[in-house]
A = this chain, B = another copy of it.
Amino acid sequence: MKNSFLIIILIHVMAAVSAKENTIEEKIINMEKAALERWYQGDPMGFIELSANDVSYFDPYLENQLDGLNALTKLYGSFRGKVQADRFEMTNIKVQATKEMAFLSYNLLAYTNNVVDKWNGSEVYRLKPDGKWKIVHTHFSMTQPIMKE
């Protein structure tokens, strides 16, 4: 009897731990981290694989908002092998998810030879009809760009 009770408790604890790891918020953060890992090893295709056909995109080098996965693939293709960092950190992470849409925002710190490159990052993810979460909007900007100069 005592053992059955312990087993039931154990099952509930395992389910709770498993549920925590599988919240939409956790999933989104993990997908973003995995894409950033590839990004800082010179492989921008992690973000392309995560992005939806109707993605829109801002970075500080563009004059206008970029429209669609084809344009983003072309842009990121030109970055292949060029972006590297020893390590990165996501800080001040904010994430909110609903059933069909979620956003993730964070400060991104990329370290190379003890020099830190600071970014502000915002992503909007949307649950697509095939059941996969995809990025529909990306906005990266430099943290305090004018002070950097």
Contact = CB atoms under 8 A, between A and B. Distances in A.
A136 B96 contact: yes
Nearest to A57: B105
Contacts of A144: 60-63
Interface in A102-149: 102-103, 105-107, 118, 120, 122, 124, 126, 136-137, 139, 141-146, 148-149
Interface of A: 54, 56, 58, 60-65, 67, 91-92, 94, 96, 98-103, 105-107, 118, 120, 122, 124, 126, 136-137, 139, 141-146, 148-149
A116 to B, nearest CB: 12
Give the interface SS of chain A, mostly helix, strand, loop or mixed.
strand
A32 to B, nearest CB: 15
A126 B122 CA distance: 15
- Closest 7 interchain pairs by CB? A141-B141, A145-B145, A101-B101, A98-B100, A56-B94, A58-B120, A65-B92
